């Protein structure tokens, strides 16, 4: 009577090879997931810095364009804060300054309101009054915003914003 061989399972070598291939695939997927996570964290930091910077710059320049006069800094001078007179009595004067790593706006006697949130740190806020005699007035503004990711692989991103506005 012929002997029937039963080859229904894996040999030891086949099982080791199978586990090795599966481990390699799982490791590769885990590595790719980590790269994607770090990349999305970096992109979130960049996006936050850019959005906050554009928004703050837009508010400062729009307020300056709608102002009736630049009070500080003096014509031809540079300063760390900007004060403008606006037509609305309760909001006049309106001032922009740097406090505690945030760009702040103060309208009239109201409390200062941050233009940037705690996710970014503002620095190097500078206003240059480029006004000349017989002109409505022009102000150049610049500031730097920095943001950082809180992940296990820290990432910091800084961008300097520039803008100018002339009174209308």
Residue among 75, 91, 55, 81 at smallest CA distance from 141: 81
Q: Where are the domains of the chain?
A: 12-166
Residues 145-154 as b/e (b if ≥16 CB within 10 A, e otherwise) read: bbbbbeeeee
Show the tokens assigned to 11.
């040999």
Identify the band that residue 12 occupies on the pLDDT scale cut at 50, 70 and 90.
confident
Q: What is the pLDDT of residue 2?
A: 63
* Strand 102-107 versus strand 94-99 pairing type: antiparallel
Residue 69: strand pairing partners: 85
**Residue 129 to residues 3, 23, 82, 167, Cα–Cα distance (Å):** 101, 64, 9, 11
Which helix (H) or strand (E) segment holds residue 35: the answer is helix 12-65
State yes or no: pLDDT of 141 exceeds 90. Answer: yes
Spatial strand order in the sheet of 120-129: 78-79, 120-129, 138-148, 156-166
Q: Give the pLDDT band of residue 151 (cuts 50, 70, 90).
A: low
Output the pTM of the full model: 0.76
pLDDT tens per residue, range 49-65: 999 999 999 999 999 99
Per-residue pLDDT at 31: 86
**pLDDT at residue 132 in the model:** 79
pLDDT of the residue at 95: 93
Q: Which two tokens stand for residue 146?
A: 């920095």
Residues counted in the chain: 168
What local confidence, expressed as pLDDT, does residue 30 receive? 86
**Confidence class of residue 3 from pLDDT cuts 50, 70 and 90?**
low
Mean pLDDT over the full length of the chain: 87
C-alpha triplet 135, 98, 50: angle, nearest 5°: 85
C-alpha 117/C-alpha 122 separation (Å) is: 10
Q: What is the pLDDT of residue 133?
A: 72
Q: What tens digit of pLDDT does each residue of 69-97 get?
A: 888 898 889 999 999 988 887 888 999 99
pLDDT at 37: 76
- 141's tokens: 């503004």
DSSP 128: E
* Structure confidence at residue 4 as a pLDDT band (50, 70, 90): low
């Amino acid at each position: 009577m012929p002997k029937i061989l039963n080859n229904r399972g894996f040999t030891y070598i086949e099982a080791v090879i199978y586990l090795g291939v599966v481990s390699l695939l799982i490791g590769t997927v885990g590595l790719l997931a980590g790269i994607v996570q770090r990349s999305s964290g970096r992109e979130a930091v960049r996006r936050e810095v850019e959005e906050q910077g554009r928004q703050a710059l837009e508010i400062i320049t729009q307020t300056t364009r709608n102002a009736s006069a630049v009070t500080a800094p003096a014509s031809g001078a540079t300063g760390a804060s900007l004060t403008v007179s606006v037509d609305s009595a309760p909001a006049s004067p309106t001032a922009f300054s740097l406090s505690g790593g945030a760009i702040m706006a103060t309208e009239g006697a109201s409390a200062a309101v941050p233009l940037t949130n705690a996710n970014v740190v503002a620095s190097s806020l500078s206003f240059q009054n480029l006004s000349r005699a017989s002109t409505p007035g022009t102000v150049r503004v610049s500031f730097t915003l920095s943001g950082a990711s809180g992940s296990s692989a820290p990432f910091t991103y800084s961008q300097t914003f520039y803008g100018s506005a002339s009174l209308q």
